[in-house]
Amino acid sequence: VHRLDKDTSGVMVVAKSERAHRSLVDQFSERKPGKVYLALVAGHPKKKKGEIALPIGRHPKVRVKMAVAEKGGKPAHTDWELLTRFREGFALVECSIRTGRTHQIRVHMSSLNHPLAGDATYGYKPSKNDDFSFPRVMLHAKTLRILHPGTEKELSFEAPLPEDYQVVLDGLNPL
């Protein structure tokens, strides 16, 4: 019914019938589901929360990348909230997306100069002082809220952090 970026862990929904599939596809195309992600970002955001409403389109030179695109981009909206700052120069943020553009959180957080840990595509560069490396882009689809295709009752699903993500967080020291 929907997709996650390569290497992104977390919750997804799969339809068990054609009727459910149609209902869920309609919900996603109408931007109805609530989607919440955990992102480990480089640096410490100055604010505790914010919103990013910048259009996203194909990168003008690197066709496999996306970019903030003032011309020709599609609307994209991400709300974020700082959860924890770490001594090692990282922060855990919760991102809620109102749209579902390709690489949306990765592009938007990079536009704030806070690329996701492990995401060399969108600007993460390890420090010479880093004593650890990241197994992947540190993005996790934590929560998905949808309407039940039959009853239209709101359902909420949550995926626990996978072991590789938890190991990274356990190795960091909160401020």
What the block records as the tokens of 128 is 């010479």
Quote the radius of gyration of the chain (alpha carbons, Å): 17
Torsion, Cα 49 78 118 73, to 10 degrees, reads -140
User: Among the options 5, 130, 164, 170, which is catalytic?
Assistant: 5
Q: Concatenate the DSSP letters of all residues of the chain into one string.
A: -----TT-EE-----SSHHHHHHHHHHHHTT-SEEEEEEEEES--SSSEEEEE--EEE-SS-TTSEEE-TTTPBP-EEEEEEEEEETTTEEEEEEEESS--TTHHHHHHHHTT-PBTT-GGGT----TT-----SS--EEEEEEEEE-TTT--EEEEE-PPPHHHHHHHHTS-B-
Q: 119 catalytic, yes or no?
A: no
Catalytically annotated residues: 5
